[in-house]
Amino acid sequence: MADAGARRRRVFVTGIGLVSPHGGEPDEVFERLYRGESAIRKVRTGTAELGGDALVAQAEFDPSGIIPKLQIVVMDRVSQMAVVAAHRALAESGLLADESGPADMGIYMGCGLGGSQALQDSYRIYFERRSRKPKPATVPLIMANGPAGHISLRYKLKGPSLTYSIACASSAAAIGEAFRAIRDGYLDRALAGGTEAMLNDGSVAAWEVLGVLAKEHADGPGASSRPFARDRTGFVLGEGAAVIALESEAAAQARNAAPIAEIVGYAGASDAHNLTQPAADGQVRAMRLALADAGIVPESIGYVNAHATATIAGDRIEIDAIKQVFAEHAHKLAVSATKSMHGHLVGAAGALEFAITALALNKRRVPPTANLTEPDPECDLDCVPCAGREMPDLAVALSNSFAFGGSNAVLVAKRV
Amino acid sequence: MSSFAHIQETLVSKYGVKPEVIKPEATLTELGLDSLSIAELMFDVSDHYEIEIPDERANFNTLGEAVALVDECVKAKGG
């Protein structure tokens, strides 16, 4: 046991590992976002009869070199991306030695749908081939904790291995819960993040009928995700994994690890309102509780990485919630929606956006909301339109994640 | 015709097994597979030959025994 029941300990981010629509190298991902570059493309999905074009943000991803073929055959894409992101986080933090991580490390992962390609494949065999013999590895391929299990196995991590599934806020909760375990002395270090890989026919069709996906914009696929814009039409599904290495201050100092940022607060709160429609009340409480958890006043916050998926109702509700929490200070905040460029990674969204927030603090520059040429008059905060911004005094930031099911998770990070 | 060549090619291309270690007398565990990947391999091979290997027969150890079992099922299907 690390130091259970101890006074609150500081928790540092010491590594970031990404598999994202903008690539896998954190600094490069950040620069591409800072420049306002969209990774959203139009691709053909489905079968010959049912095919259609879909706007998606596919991850730049090649597992070869990190995962042997023998393991790939029993891993869904969702786990492959998680292992590669975990590998990069361990390597970047300096915790990877002889292909293993520290044995006492915990794993806190978020995932919305699990191995959705394997699920689709198994149903295809059952219903199309009328066979009761799907692939033998179907269950471990599909299970939601497959990614965490593979990370543990691969890097010999023997701390707690947990998987959180609260849709779009899954990985924000995973990071928050890992932060608490370390802060409160139950653990010295953890890998925390999320993964999602559901850009397959069946899943995309299910999202399409929900009526929340963006229509293609006249200026092309890259202009289609338009958070806070007057002409926004919904979100674009993305895929990827983001994993961060978290360590207690003492653990990081003992090995002279240079922190990228510090996590100082986290809270979750529920809307208890509607399964798919958000409510300002739950978001307000989540933000207030996270600020209280961090012990800081709202006026210390300089940047908010918004959840902002670009649905008509959702963006307005979030702006309203931010105004309620920050009052006059709301107009001094920089609020940006990076989903405008990397799409909505659902179970990996919170972790990718938290990683971007940590990098923004580290670099004192914030990424823009792309495509925000004409703002919705009701989204009247400074949403960093179209161009990234230098913020030399940026010290504390918020990352919002609000989910279907009415679950809200908010993380507070601080420059080190 | 023996299924050895097809299984060998699958082991190399899909499972990443080095060609030089693939010999009929090697056990699949020696080739680096575990229970789950052995089951996946037999699924792939059954799929290719459109055969069904009875569960009670899936108690082979070496690659040669697996090849013989597949060949027998292919022959049974053909006949």
- What tens digit of pLDDT does each residue of A360-376 get? 999 999 999 999 999 99
Q: What is the pLDDT of residue A2?
A: 66
Question: Quick one: tokens of A133?
Answer: 């013999």
pLDDT beyond 90 at A215:
yes
Least confident of A48-57, A66-75, A168-177, A401-410: A48-57
pLDDT-derived band of residue B79, with 50, 70 and 90 as boundaries? low
Q: What is the average pLDDT across A349-366?
A: 98
Q: Using alpha carbons only, what angle is made at residue A45 by residues A42 and A47, rounded to the nearest 5 degrees? A: 155
pLDDT > 90 in chain A, percent: 94
d(Cα A154, Cα A189) in Å, to the nearest integer? Answer: 17
Residue among A70, A133, A137 whose CB faces B15 most closely: A70
Q: What is the pLDDT of residue A49?
A: 72
Q: What is the average pLDDT across A31-59?
A: 90
Q: What is the pLDDT of residue A340?
A: 98
Which residue from A150, A160, A77, A158 is spatially nearest to A115, judged by alpha carbons? A77
Which top CATH class is A11-254?
alpha beta
Residue among A69, A133, A140 whose CB faces B15 most closely: A69
Smallest CA–CA distance, residue A285 to chain B, in Å, is 46
Query: Could you tell me which chain B residue has the CA closest to the CA of A138?
Result: B40
Query: Could you tell me which chain B residue has the CA closest to the CA of A133?
Result: B43
Q: Any alpha helices (H) in A260-311, and if so which ranges? A: 280-294
For helices A201-210 and A116-127, what crossing angle results, to 10°?
100
* pLDDT, averaged across chain A: 96
Model ipTM? 0.86
Smallest CA–CA distance, residue B9 to chain A, in Å, is 14
Instruction: List active site positions of A.
Output: 168, 307, 344
Strands A301-305 and A52-57: unpaired
Q: Do B40 and A135 touch (CB under 8 A)?
A: yes
Residue among A69, A72, A136 whose CB faces B39 most closely: A136
Tell me which residues of chain B have a C-beta less than 8 Å from any C-beta of chain A: 14-17, 32-33, 36-37, 39-40, 42-43, 52
**A68 at interface of B, judged by CB pairs closer than 8 A:** yes
Smallest CA–CA distance, residue A206 to chain B, in Å, is 29
> Between 1.10.1200.10, 1.10.260.40, 3.30.70.580, 1.10.10.60, what CATH number should domain B4-78 receive?
1.10.1200.10
pLDDT beyond 80 at A6:
no
Q: Do B14 and A73 touch (CB under 8 A)?
A: yes
Least confident of A200-214, A352-366, A369-383: A200-214
pLDDT beyond 90 at A37:
yes
Which residue from A238, A245, A310, A273 is spatially nearest to A91, judged by alpha carbons? A245
pLDDT-derived band of residue A329, with 50, 70 and 90 as boundaries? very high
Q: Do A73 and B17 touch (CB under 8 A)?
A: no
| Chains A & B: contacts with CB separation below 8 Å | 32
Q: Do B32 and A70 touch (CB under 8 A)?
A: yes
**A296 at interface of B, judged by CB pairs closer than 8 A:** no
Q: Do B37 and A133 touch (CB under 8 A)?
A: no
């919630």: which residue's tokens? A321
CB A162 within 8 A of CB A191: no
**Count of beta carbons in the 10 Å neighbourhood of residue B25:** 10
Smallest CA–CA distance, residue A79 to chain B, in Å, is 16
Domain ranges of chain A: 11-254, 265-414
Interface-testing mutation among B15, B30, B35, B50, with chain A (most A C-beta atoms within 10 A): B15
Q: What is the average pLDDT across A59-85?
A: 96
Domain ranges of chain B: 4-78
Q: What is the average pLDDT across A306-329?
A: 98
Q: Do A136 and B16 touch (CB under 8 A)?
A: no
Q: What is the pLDDT of residue A406?
A: 96
Identify all chain A residues contacting B39, using CB atoms and an 8 Å cutoff: 136-137
d(Cα A212, Cα A246) in Å, to the nearest integer? Answer: 34
Q: What is the average pLDDT across A305-330?
A: 98
Q: Any alpha helices (H) in A215-348, and if so which ranges? A: 249-254, 280-294, 312-326, 339-342
Q: What is the average pLDDT across A262-283?
A: 96
Task: State the amino acid at position A387 in one-letter form.
Answer: A
pLDDT in tens, A164-184: 999 999 999 999 999 999 999
pLDDT beyond 90 at A84:
yes
Q: Using alpha carbons only, what angle is made at residue A60 by residues A161 and A370, rounded to the nearest 5 degrees? A: 100
Q: What is the average pLDDT across A14-21?
A: 98
pLDDT-derived band of residue A7, with 50, 70 and 90 as boundaries? confident
pLDDT in tens, A384-394: 999 999 999 99
Smallest CA–CA distance, residue B36 to chain A, in Å, is 6
pLDDT in tens, B21-78: 999 999 999 999 999 999 999 999 999 999 999 888 888 999 999 999 999 999 998 8
Which residue from A308, A296, A399 is spatially nearest to A357, judged by alpha carbons? A399
> Between 3.40.47.10, 3.10.20.740, 3.20.20.70, 1.20.200.10, what CATH number should domain A265-414 receive?
3.40.47.10
Residues with Cβ < 8 Å from A386, sequence gap 6 or more?
A36, A368, A369, A370, A371, A372, A373
Q: What pTM was computed for the model? A: 0.95
